[in-house]
């Protein structure tokens, strides 16, 4: 049985959001084989965070794009 959970997170620095998105995408890749539904949810959360970044300035050294591998938004150095 699924239990709905709602969480609000505020980041003071856009770079923190970028690090969080990167960590979620890495985690999703690591668990994709054994837990595909959880991996999909991690990617969805990363995409939601990425959508919130769209209106913010991009931290230096970060490039936005779409991952060829997963189709998810990629934030890379």
Question: pLDDT per position in the chain (77 positions), as tens?
Answer: 778 888 888 888 888 888 999 999 999 999 999 999 999 999 999 998 888 887 766 666 655 554 545 555 555 44
Contact assessment for residue 14 and residue 61, using Cβ atoms and an 8 Å cutoff: no
As a 3-state breakdown, the chain gives helix, strand, coil percent values, each rounded to 5, of: 45, 10, 45
């Amino acid at each position: 049985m699924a239990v709905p959970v709602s969480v609000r997170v505020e980041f003071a620095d856009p770079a923190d959001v970028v690090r969080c998105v990167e960590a979620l995408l890495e985690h999703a890749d690591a668990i994709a084989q054994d837990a595909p539904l959880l991996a999909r949810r991690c990617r969805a959360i990363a995409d939601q965070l990425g959508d919130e970044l769209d209106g913010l300035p991009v931290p230096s050294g970060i490039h936005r794009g779409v991952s060829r591998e997963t189709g998810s938004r990629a934030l890379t150095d």
